[in-house]
Amino acid sequence: MSTIDLRTVTIKPLRHTFTHVAERIGGDKPATRYQEGTFDIQATHNFHYRPTWDPDHEIFDRARTAIVMKDWYAFRDPRQFYYGTYTAARARQQETAESNFAFVESRGLVSALPEAVRHLALELLLPLRHLEWGGNMNNAQICDYGYGTAISQPHIYKAMDHLGIAQYLTRVGLLLADETALDAAKQQWIADPKWQGLRKYVEDSFVLKDWFELFVAHNLVLDGLLYPLVYERIVDDDITMKGGSAIAMLTLFMTEWYGETAKWVDATIKTAAAESPANAQQLSQWTREYLQRGVRAIQPIARHALGANAEAVLGDIEDQFKSRVAKLGLAL
């Protein structure tokens, strides 16, 4: 074998990609790894047995949501995430996060934080560990019940992102305080009145049967209100102004992650809404309902962190959210 120089041969391939991929990209031509690793990978027919955990449906079943698509591979992840690109992107982000944590630690920036800021950061960020855990559960659920790899795949990535974020928040807690702060925050999450709206919102989402409704409830509405509020308006604006830019460094991952992930959430809603007026109406109805509940749920947090400014900020966030979803084809 070593005597043969295989590189010198020019041979004409029989085909450029898989048949099912070619059918989706308009003919036999080179396809991307995202396309080859995504299209039609999930089984759709000739299932052998009904699930013992859901005898009314097939293992993968279009009927698990009210959203109707002619082709569930109409969805595209604008980030083109397959496992390789996903881990590469997150590895880069975690490197930045790592150096930010190292920077804050090595410069002693924590001890330089005004006490009020440190206190607020702990009070605000640590209970969110549990909310992120809820995000992990809900996205695992959508990955499980979603139909077609194009839409189920990004949800395992997002599920693990939420776990990663919960772990970053844990590290923030351990950096700003110690383990006892984690326990205290859990107590707040469970019993403090200002967190109960959010906790109820999340617990109610745990029992949703329609996975696309769950997508709207968590990934569109809850993320869409909470990330702008917590990381943009409270941490990046308010806390930074009060001398807490170290906190903003420690949560940079979340800010960037939200910016990136929202693009995919938008693309997903847009595709589903554009499919049919019925879809658009259903999505609008869900969004309207969860928006109302979501705004109510985050209000006490906003008031606690922003005081008199809270209503104005919430108003802004709600307006921004409404104009965002209007662009996606929803009518609130």
Partner 1 sequence: MDMPVAKKKLGLKERYALMTRGLDWQTTYQPMDKVFPFAKYEGIKIHDWDKWEDPFRLTMDAYWKYQAEKEKKLYAIIDAFAQNNGHLGVTDARYVNTLKLFLNGISPLEYMAHRGFAHVGRAFPGVGTRVACLMQSLDEIRHSQTQIHSMSNYNKYYNGMHSFPKMLQRVWYMSVPRSFFDDAVTAGPFEFMIAVGFSFEYVLTNLLFVPFVSGAAYNGDMGAMTFGFSAQSDEARHMTLGLEVIKFVLEQDPDNLPIVQRWIDKWTWRGYRVLTLVAMMMDYMLPKRVMSWKEAWEVYFEQNGGALFKDLARYGIRPPKWLDQIEFDKDHISHQAWSTLYQYGGASNFHTWMPSDEEMDWLSAKYPNTFDKFYRPRFEHWRDEQKKGNRFYNMTLPMLCQTCQIPMIFTEPGDPTQTCYRESTHKGMKYHFCSDGCKEIFDHEPEKYKQSWLPVHQIYQGNCFNPGVDPTAEGFKPLPVVLDYYGVGFGRDNLDFEGSEDQKNFAAWRGAATTNV
Partner 2 sequence: MAAVAAVKPYEFEAADRLENFHGNQLLYIGWDQHLMFCAPFCFPLPPAMPFRAFVEQVLPGAFGYHPEFKQIDWSKAEWLASGQPFKPDWDKSLTDNGLAHKAVLRLRTPGLTGIKGSAT
Region of residue 57 (phi > 0: left; psi between -120 and 50: alpha; otherwise: beta): beta
Residues 149-208 binding partner 1 (CB under 8 A) are 149, 152-153, 155-157, 159-161, 163-164, 166-168, 170-171, 174, 177-179, 182-183, 186, 189-190, 199-200, 203-204, 206-207
The site map against partner 2 for 42-71 (x = CB under 8 A) is --------x-xxxxx---------------
If one asks whether residue 84 binds partner 1 (CB under 8 A), the answer comes out as: yes
Q: Which range of residues in 89-97, 213-221, 233-241, 308-316 is near partner 1 by CB under 8 A? A: 89-97
If one asks whether residue 115 binds partner 1 (CB under 8 A), the answer comes out as: yes
Between 44 and 309, name the residue whose CB sits nearer to partner 1: 44
Place of tokens 């922003």: 306
Angle subtended by helix axes 179-191 and 115-125, to nearest 10: 60
Burial class of residue 101, CB neighbours in 10 A (0-12, 13-18, 19+): middle
If one asks whether residue 41 binds partner 1 (CB under 8 A), the answer comes out as: yes
In this chain, which of 46, 56, 106, 323 binds partner 1, going by CB under 8 A?
A: 46
**Own/partner pairs, 149-152, CB within 8 angstroms, 24+ separation:** 149/38, 149/39, 149/40, 149/41, 149/42, 149/73, 150/38, 150/39, 150/72, 150/73, 150/74, 150/75, 150/76, 150/77, 151/72, 151/75, 151/268, 152/42
E strand segments, the chain: none
CB of 52 to partner 2, least distance (A): 4
CB of 232 to partner 2, least distance (A): 42
C-alpha closest to that of 214 among 283, 314, 267? 283
| Four-point Cα dihedral 237, 216, 269, 70, nearest 10 | 170
Say which entry of partner 1, partner 2, none residue 103 contacts (CB below 5 to 8 A, set by partner kind): none
If one asks whether residue 83 binds partner 1 (CB under 8 A), the answer comes out as: yes
If one asks whether residue 209 binds partner 2 (CB under 8 A), the answer comes out as: no
If one asks whether residue 94 binds partner 1 (CB under 8 A), the answer comes out as: yes
CB of 326 to partner 1, least distance (A): 31
CA angle 289, 295, 296 (to 5 degrees): 95
Between 3 and 52, name the residue whose CB sits nearer to partner 2: 52
Count of residues engaged in binding partner 1, rule: CB under 8 A = 93
CB of 217 to partner 1, least distance (A): 13
Angle subtended by helix axes 115-125 and 149-176, to nearest 10: 150
If one asks whether residue 218 binds partner 1 (CB under 8 A), the answer comes out as: no
Between 153 and 279, name the residue whose CB sits nearer to partner 1: 153
From residue 104, alpha-carbon distances to 17, 218, 246 in Å are: 48, 31, 6
What span, in angstroms and rounded, lies between the C-alpha atoms of 318 and 308?
Answer: 17
What span, in angstroms and rounded, lies between the C-alpha atoms of 170 and 155?
Answer: 22
Quote the DSSP letter at residue 176.
Answer: H
Between 64 and 158, name the residue whose CB sits nearer to partner 2: 64
CB of 225 to partner 1, least distance (A): 19
CB of 213 to partner 2, least distance (A): 20
Say which entry of partner 2, partner 1, none residue 18 contacts (CB below 5 to 8 A, set by partner kind): partner 1
Residues of this chain that interact with partner 2 (CB under 8 A) are 50, 52-56
